[in-house]
Amino acid sequence: MGSPVWNLARQNCSLVQENSFWEIRNGRLALFWEDAWQQLPKLDTQELSYLKQISQNEGRNRVCHYWDQSSRDANWREWIHLNVDNNIEGNESTKQLNSQILKRKIRKTEEEDQLRWGMIGNGNFSLKEAREMIVKVEQEEVVPRCNKV
């Protein structure tokens, strides 16, 4: 029951979750590995699982745990360099992580992180973009059935 809008929202909850991201400000709400942030994909990949495990064992799970708190730059956050043991897996993971996080520029502010919508555009929710995504998902679901016939 309920309104058609809420029923559609419930049916497409995963679509909203998959297309939302955190705009990082103070880094205290967003999860470093599991959340998408700064309109870039999640860092929770198989290639980085070694570093994820090490850092989570050390209690570092929020974005703010990965930048230098004593940064000298007045406007931008600076990322810390992770120290891992000298095994090949750790070195390769560190290189991949560094290349990923250097793409993520964070301004210094104490405002709370904000949950935003969409991986294109300005991060504001739009019905047009949501509808386009729903249509795309529906079309992807229809194509495989046609291939079976």
Distance CA 31, CA 25 (A): 13
Neighbours of 116 (CB within 10 A): 20
Would you say residue 114 has pLDDT above 90? yes
Average pLDDT, the chain: 81
Cα radius of gyration (the chain): 19
Residue 93: its pLDDT value, please? Answer: 82
Distance CA 65, CA 68 (A): 8
3-state secondary structure of 126: coil
Confidence of residue 147 (pLDDT cuts 50, 70, 90): low
C-alpha dist (Å) from residue 7 to 10, 13, 56, 127 = 5, 10, 37, 15
Nearest C-alpha neighbor of 64 from the set 103, 20, 97, 108: 108
Residue 25: its pLDDT value, please? Answer: 95
Question: Which tokens hold the place of 17?
Answer: 């979750």
- Predicted TM-score (pTM) above 0.75: no
Distance CA 69, CA 90 (A): 24
Neighbours of 112 (CB within 10 A): 12
Domain limits, the chain: 4-148
